Chains A and B, each alone.
Chain A
């Protein structure tokens, strides 16, 4: 197991290396560099050249890449050209928001998705089955930003039950330690701050959960249906085991493997930032910031963020692979 993890981590290095090269070429092909974003259309050629020289963009691309790699080895991702702050600082400030949002969305998706999918499979052909299949289809087909706007209009603006924007009410004056607002609130025992941060997560979490929820319902249903037809389930029932034991130990456990795979993939996708949801709810995560960075041609932010996101994505998938062995002891990772 240990060797497996180490080898997988080592395999990440060439992938990230390749990605950094692709990113570099890609980004530097974008028309209108940061100087256009900073100066707008007004800047004189001299001003543009000065900015490019300041940012080191006038040098050959190989030299630029070499300097980028040299800094990367020292865990220095450079300074954002649009906010003038260090890329690592920006990341550490925004990524916790994305993580909290992802956790909230996945908790909703898993908490509702697995029971619903299981129920649909057990009651195949009934109204419960049809309703959850239809619901999951619609969940996939609704544009996320539209759902986000509807949720915001109904629950925040009309009913006023939940806050419509942001991560926390700034008037609370919560103490910041890790930038995970819920965690900070719990650690400093500022219960109101933690509760407020949690409440701010509900609506964006629901909007973001729509697609993962739909996917999990469908995969759980299909997987449980397959397992229910297996001989060992009949054997377990013939042995006279109670229904709940058969359900938990035999059916669900065996059906969870494909579900775990998709949960990993979905989590990885959500961690790379929810541009649309974050935009609608003015939620400070990495998604909307990255989209802005593209229009600002903020090369350091784009390179740094995307490399870290890719790393996180690979790590999440590693965790999923390791979790297989816990779900199914027959799976041996080597």
Chain B
């Protein structure tokens, strides 16, 4: 290629050669997929940044609620006569209230910190819901396809057709209709957001299992007379999980954003005593003209957290990509 020989490019090529050298060295010692992936991950600044963001996020989510200066339900601003939302008076930062008040006179900083826990909870639980249901469907389909026979193929085709139909449905509408089905609550948000990712996980695990089914170790296990169901569960599934784990990391980011979107449409957690970033962002809409910061704080928090999950997920995808492994 005739690319311009910029300094950055030369540096990149040097790093690549170094990577090849050390990778070649690794191969001699025999390093497992996961070990090498972890090694590559540690060298990737994007992965480190993502991991650092997430570490901070988790620390805030776990310990933040014990350390905040004010209770999240305390309408202190109204009590002290500082906040008059009706007249558009919502004071900003001060020494006592670092990020000012929200529209109900509650301390914005405290709510933002406590909101981290709720946001993490929604993200993790909804991703787990999607992962569990999706992996179950995908796993059954993949195993059925691998075992084969008329029934196996039939189960596989039927399940995948249903998954394709779910994929063809607009994801937010799926979530909205689930929210309508179950009524607005925290659990509903988690289930609705989780269901969006079900078809993705199902397709991914099935595809990954079918790809693994053709490999030599499966042939070897078959030759040794291991039962097909045991091969599927103990050999193929563990080896097929890598892309699913990567996808789960990426899904955590979109889950937080989708949950915020549901709140925006008025289908979020109706209990405003427990702050959550998506709900805070939605609640700030009427005050965008007078106090845009009320929307910007939770929005920036959501963006940074989603960025953390995406950076780490993308870096994991790269680290596990056999095309990039040497």
**B223 within 8 A of partner (CB):** no
The interface bits of chain B over 25-51 (1 if a CB of A lies within 8 angstroms of the residue's CB, else 0) are: 000000000000000000000000000
**B95 within 8 A of partner (CB):** no
Nearest chain A residue, comparing its CB with the CB of B299: A146
The interface bits of chain A over 99-135 (1 if a CB of B lies within 8 angstroms of the residue's CB, else 0) are: 0000000000000000000000011111101000000
Interface size for chain B: under 10, 10 to 19, 20 to 34, or 35 or more residues?
A: 35 or more
Q: Which residues of B contact A268 (CB under 8 A)?
A: 168
Stretch from A179-187, A254-262, A290-298 contacting the other chain = A290-298
**A165 within 8 A of partner (CB):** no
Q: Which residues of B contact A291 (CB under 8 A)?
A: 172-173, 176, 265
Q: How far is the CB of B324 from chain A (nearest CB, A)?
A: 10
**A279 within 8 A of partner (CB):** yes
- Judging by beta carbons under 8 Å apart, are A126 and B8 in contact? yes
Nearest chain A residue, comparing its CB with the CB of B13: A125
Q: Which residues of A contact B9 (CB under 8 A)?
A: 123-126
Stretch from B73-81, B136-144, B232-240, B253-261 contacting the other chain = B253-261
Q: For window 280-334 of chain A, which residues contact chain B by CB distance below 8 Å?
A: 287, 290-291, 294-295, 297, 306, 309-310, 313-314
- Judging by beta carbons under 8 Å apart, are B307 and A137 in contact? yes
- From A140, A287, A297, residue with most partner B Cβ within 10 Å: A140
Stretch from A23-31, A47-55, A190-198, A199-207 contacting the other chain = A23-31
Cα distance A27–B177 in the bound complex, in angstroms: 8
Q: Which residues of A contact B173 (CB under 8 A)?
A: 272-273, 275, 290-291, 294, 306
Q: How far is the CB of B250 from chain A (nearest CB, A)?
A: 9
- Judging by beta carbons under 8 Å apart, are A30 and B261 in contact? no
A140-B162 contact, Cβ under 8 Å, with A145-B264, A310-B169: no
- Judging by beta carbons under 8 Å apart, are A228 and B1 in contact? yes
Stretch from B58-66, B125-133, B200-208, B281-289 contacting the other chain = B281-289
Cα distance A146–B169 in the bound complex, in angstroms: 24
A275's contact among B1, B164, B176, B285, by CB below 8 Å, is which? B176
Stretch from A14-22, A61-69, A71-79, A80-88 contacting the other chain = A14-22
Cα distance A237–B1 in the bound complex, in angstroms: 7
Nearest chain A residue, comparing its CB with the CB of B15: A125
- From A18, A22, A149, residue with most partner B Cβ within 10 Å: A149
Q: Which residues of A contact B183 (CB under 8 A)?
A: 31
- Judging by beta carbons under 8 Å apart, are A153 and B306 in contact? no
Q: How far is the CB of B184 from chain A (nearest CB, A)?
A: 11
**B110 within 8 A of partner (CB):** no
- Judging by beta carbons under 8 Å apart, are A125 and B11 in contact? yes
A123's contact among B4, B180, B278, B306, by CB below 8 Å, is which? B4
- Residues of A in contact, count (CB < 8 Å): 53
B257's contact among A122, A141, A149, by CB below 8 Å, is which? A141
- Judging by beta carbons under 8 Å apart, are B3 and A122 in contact? yes
B303's contact among A138, A149, A246, A306, by CB below 8 Å, is which? A138
A143's contact among B11, B12, B168, B261, by CB below 8 Å, is which? B261
**B295 within 8 A of partner (CB):** yes
Q: Which residues of B contact A124 (CB under 8 A)?
A: 3, 8-9, 12
**B161 within 8 A of partner (CB):** yes
A310's contact among B165, B171, B303, by CB below 8 Å, is which? B165
- Judging by beta carbons under 8 Å apart, are A294 and B310 in contact? no
Cα distance A291–B6 in the bound complex, in angstroms: 51
A15-B161 contact, Cβ under 8 Å, with A123-B6, A138-B303: yes
A/B interface sample: 20 pairs, CB < 8 A: A18-B161, A124-B12, A125-B8, A125-B9, A141-B302, A143-B261, A143-B281, A143-B303, A149-B288, A149-B295, A153-B292, A229-B1, A237-B2, A268-B168, A275-B170, A275-B172, A276-B172, A291-B176, A294-B173, A313-B168
Nearest chain A residue, comparing its CB with the CB of B170: A272
- Judging by beta carbons under 8 Å apart, are B168 and A125 in contact? no
Nearest chain B residue, comparing its CB with the CB of A234: B1
- From B11, B181, B264, residue with most partner A Cβ within 10 Å: B264
Question: Can you list the 4 inter-chain pairs with the closest CB atoms, starting with the nearest?
Answer: A125-B12, A272-B170, A141-B306, A125-B8
**B311 within 8 A of partner (CB):** yes
**A144 within 8 A of partner (CB):** yes
A141's contact among B170, B253, B264, by CB below 8 Å, is which? B253
- Judging by beta carbons under 8 Å apart, are B310 and A141 in contact? yes
A30-B1 contact, Cβ under 8 Å, with A124-B12, A143-B281: no
Q: Which residues of B contact A58 (CB under 8 A)?
A: none
**A267 within 8 A of partner (CB):** no
Q: For window 106-151 of chain B, which residues contact chain A by CB distance below 8 Å?
A: none
- From A157, A269, A279, A314, residue with most partner B Cβ within 10 Å: A269
Q: Which residues of A contact B253 (CB under 8 A)?
A: 140-141
A143-B292 contact, Cβ under 8 Å, with A31-B181, A313-B168: no
Q: Which residues of A contact B307 (CB under 8 A)?
A: 137-138, 141
Q: Which residues of A contact B1 (CB under 8 A)?
A: 228-229, 233-234, 237
Nearest chain B residue, comparing its CB with the CB of A276: B261
A146's contact among B164, B165, B177, B281, by CB below 8 Å, is which? B281
Q: Which residues of B contact A142 (CB under 8 A)?
A: 299, 303
Cα distance A153–B278 in the bound complex, in angstroms: 19
Cα distance A275–B175 in the bound complex, in angstroms: 12
**A41 within 8 A of partner (CB):** no
**A46 within 8 A of partner (CB):** no
Q: How far is the CB of B294 from chain A (nearest CB, A)?
A: 12
Q: Which residues of B contact A246 (CB under 8 A)?
A: 2
Q: Which residues of B contact A123 (CB under 8 A)?
A: 3-4, 6, 8-9
- Judging by beta carbons under 8 Å apart, are A143 and B177 in contact? no
A143-B260 contact, Cβ under 8 Å, with A18-B162, A310-B169: yes
- Judging by beta carbons under 8 Å apart, are B181 and A30 in contact? yes
Having A125-B9, A138-B303, one finds 4 other A-B pairs with CB under 8 Å, namely A126-B8, A141-B302, A234-B1, A268-B168
Q: Which residues of B contact A30 (CB under 8 A)?
A: 177, 180-181
Cα distance A273–B2 in the bound complex, in angstroms: 43
